[in-house]
Structure 1
Amino acid sequence: MDKFKFEKLIIWQRAMDFGETIDGLANSFPEKEKFNLSSQIRRAADSIALNISEGSIGQTNLEQKKFLGCAIRSLAEVVTCLYKSEKRNYITKPKFNQLYEEAYQLMNMLIAFRKNVK
């Protein structure tokens, strides 16, 4: 029932799943982070899939590349928030490593996808 081009993109599907994983993680942060780190990491993670979808609908190739660049920058923001989370002992080192690896794989997919936009 995919009606939008981006729904078929594996990279969008992965970004959607990653965003949900990050949302669940942010739920475990202390209450004092509700409007700080929790909010920031959620917004950055959601922005990845949002930029992929926005760039894929009726955009020129140059605009699509721009939105993919925004998605990559949002992913970098998530990684920085993960570092902050580990330093503040909100996540364990193994959890950090797992999410860092997921982020790294997603970044490589985004870079490859952007290179293939003609």
Structure 2
Amino acid sequence: MAFNFERLEVWKLSVNNSGSIYDLTKGFPKEEIYGLTSQIRRASDSVSLNIAEGSTGQTKVEFGRFLGYAVRSGIEVIGCLYLARTKGFIDENVFSLFYQQVETMIIKIQSLRKSLR
């Protein structure tokens, strides 16, 4: 492992979450491919990408800023989950499962961010 982010639990968690979101959205209606499907996938990917980008060759302050972006992207995923539930693409059980996974990831990112101060 050549890069710092590859050792971070939160980065690994975010990569796994992104894969789970991708699998989930395979079941969304085809007409949503450029709408909600794309939005939730991009937001989910953004979490891990911001962690990676901020961790390498940056100051703690800069890394903290990128972790803030990662948190915001995680919140965007939560918002997309609400939309998917409201539109009937996922049921309450699936919503709760993914909500809990993303919430846990966000809490861990915030803890890492606080540890940098």
Q: TM-score, normalised by structure 2?
A: 0.98
Q: Which amino acid aligns with 1:109?
A: K
Runs of 5+ unmatched residues, structure 2:
none
Aligned to 1:82: 81
Give the number of equivalent residue pairs: 117
User: Hey, what's the Cα distance between the residues in 2 that align with 1:82 and 1:44?
Assistant: 11
Aligned to 2:115: 116
- Cα deviation for residue 3 of structure 1 reads 1.3
Q: Which amino acid aligns with 1:16?
A: V
Aligned to 1:46: 45
Q: Which amino acid aligns with 1:51?
A: N
Identity of aligned residues (%): 38
Runs of 5+ unmatched residues, structure 1:
none
Note if 1:18 corresponds to 2:20: no
Q: Which amino acid aligns with 1:68?
A: L
CA RMSD of aligned residues (A): 0.6
User: Hey, what's the Cα distance between the residues in 2 that align with 1:26 and 1:67?
Assistant: 26
- Cα deviation for residue 31 of structure 1 reads 0.7
Q: TM-score, normalised by structure 1?
A: 0.97
